[in-house]
Amino acid sequence: MVRTEISLFLRNAPGELGKLSTLFAEAGINIDAITIQDASSYVQELFRARGKSLKRIASAASYNSMRKDSAEYALIRLLPANGKINASLDLLSRNDYLFDMLPVIALELDNRPGALAEVTAKFGEAGININYVYGSVSSPEEKCLFVFCPEDVELASQIFK
């Protein structure tokens, strides 16, 4: 199912994630999924990936400068509970967070060996690249929630109707 993911940069300092999650808690908004990546790691990976593809958009010195600047921040991606996207956006705006939104595919998978392989194979068979994925497992009896960011959300949404 297509859902809206919110991404934002958060200061990489003690207590910042606590402040953000407290805002959501006090507003009664559940966060269904979240992933956090050190922004400097993101820039390093971007540099390596662009180098491998020979499509760097900046010099090595520029990437190193971006990495140093980004060390103070973390990249947060979160999936607010269904029906709470507008409330989440209002909350972030009122509290002066800079954020972006992106459509993603969120799927509940059976918690068993091969479930993820079956889903990712469908992406591959349709020729859809997955930019990133994150997920969680709570217990063997419950379903797992996985969030996929495919290059073609429209096509992916047709596959998983």
Sorted by where each begins, the domain ranges of the chain are 2-159
Does residue 130 contact residue 120 with C-beta atoms inside 8 Å? yes
Check residue 137 and give its pLDDT.
Answer: 79
Check residue 153 and give its pLDDT.
Answer: 96
Distance CA 101, CA 103 (A): 7
Check residue 58 and give its pLDDT.
Answer: 54
User: Which of the residues in the chain have pLDDT under 70?
Assistant: 39-71
Residue with tokens 């709570």: 138
How many residues are present in the chain?
Answer: 161
pTM for the model stands at 0.80
Check residue 74 and give its pLDDT.
Answer: 84
Task: Give the CATH architecture of domain 2-159.
Answer: 2-Layer Sandwich (3.30)
Check residue 101 and give its pLDDT.
Answer: 95
Q: Which of 68, 73, 90 is nearest to 24 (CA)?
A: 90
Sheet holding 144-150, edge to edge: 31-38, 73-80, 2-11, 99-109, 144-150, 130-136
Give DSSP secondary structure letters for 49-80.
Answer: HHHHHT--SS-HHHHHHHHHHHTTEEEEEEEE
Check residue 61 and give its pLDDT.
Answer: 58
E strand or H helix at 2, and its extent?
A: strand 2-11
E strand or H helix at 108, and its extent?
A: strand 99-109
Cα four-point dihedral sign 46, 130, 127, 1: negative
E strand or H helix at 16, and its extent?
A: helix 16-26
Check residue 10 and give its pLDDT.
Answer: 87
